[in-house]
Amino acid sequence: MQTFYLPNQDLLQDKIILVTGAGSGIGAMAAKTFAQYGATVILLGRTVHKLEVLYDQIEAAGYPQAAIYPMNLEGATAKDYADLALNIENEFGRLDGLLHNAAILGTLTPLPLYDMELWFKVMQVNLHAPYFLTRVCLPLLKKSSSASVVFTSDNVSKQAKAYWGAYSVSKAGVDNMMQIFAEELCENTAIRVNSFNPGKIKTAMRKQAYPGEDNSTLKSPEALAWAYLFLFGKDSQTYTGQYFTEYTLQEMITNP
């Protein structure tokens, strides 16, 4: 853990946090870290086996028992979202955190050549799913004394780049949506809404985007554990409507 943010081991005790795309990469790291700091995590993802591996790791480590929720965000319907909210309501009664982490890269290609079906898929997973999920989870988040919703951004949200197509457009939409939710919720609720751009991290998605890159110099997801703890713990309670990078977060923590 970075020395500039060293929270207590019980930072997230009794918190209920839903993580999408929890089976691998940054999502798996975040979910495991939340559990390590006391949270009960709901692991949502499309590949059941990956979720089961993480579930077992959390159990073996003696952290609070996790819950697995297999769901393919690509084809999810309004009923699927409503069922998820109902299940969380019945099982836990509320939600203290929602990490929108699942995403797909699609393909890197010029806009006029972008495969239309793939365009729809990228929008569905990266943009529509976080919208519907936030929407159905709002009643659960409102039951928390202090809830945190974090969308996952990317450099190409703020600085569009040729060939990044649907992925770039979806991430720009995510940041825009984050601000709308934050503004709408800041007055009468205890829900804060922010987005976080993890930067260059050694995962399957990074490999897909940069297949020829020497990834030995990239950070592993674990290097960002502190950032996710900060965003979901009490120390970020006063921040909402903000787009964070690793560096802006670090600056904020060291010079509050």
Ligand X SMILES: NC(=O)c1ccc[n+]([C@@H]2O[C@H](COP(=O)([O-])OP(=O)(O)OC[C@H]3O[C@@H](n4cnc5c(N)ncnc54)[C@H](OP(=O)(O)O)[C@@H]3O)[C@@H](O)[C@H]2O)c1
Question: Catalytic residue numbers?
Answer: 167
Nearer to ligand X, 36 or 168 (CB): 168
Pick from 67, 68, 8: nearest CA to 38: 8
Length of the chain in residues, anyone? 256
Round to whole Å and give the CA distance between 176 and 71.
Answer: 25
Q: Which of 185, 198, 225, 242 binds ligand X (CB under 6 A)?
A: 198
Q: The tokens 């991290």 sit on which residue?
A: 201
Q: The tokens 């713990």 sit on which residue?
A: 233
Q: Does 32 bind ligand X (CB under 6 A)?
A: no
- Residue 248's contacts (CB-CB under 8 Å, 6 or more residues apart) are none
Asked if residues 148 and 170 have their Cβ atoms less than 8 Å apart, the reply is: no
Q: Which of 15, 17, 31, 50 binds ligand X (CB under 6 A)?
A: 50
Nearer to ligand X, 21 or 173 (CB): 21
Q: Does 26 bind ligand X (CB under 6 A)?
A: yes
In the complex, residue closest to ligand X by CB: 25
Q: Please tell me whether residue 71 adopts helix, strand or coil conformation.
A: coil
- The nearest distance, CB 187 to ligand X, in angstroms, is 28
Nearer to ligand X, 144 or 194 (CB): 194
DSSP 159: S
Nearer to ligand X, 158 or 234 (CB): 158
Q: Which stretch binds ligand X (CB under 6 A): 70-78, 182-190, 225-233, 235-243?
A: 70-78
- Site mask for ligand X (CB under 6 A), range 146-165, x = bound: ------x-x-----------
Round to whole Å and give the CA distance between 88 and 59.
Answer: 20
Round to whole Å and give the CA distance between 111 and 93.
Answer: 44
Interface with ligand X (CB under 6 A):
21, 23-27, 45-47, 50, 72-74, 101-104, 125, 152, 154, 197-198, 200-201, 203-206
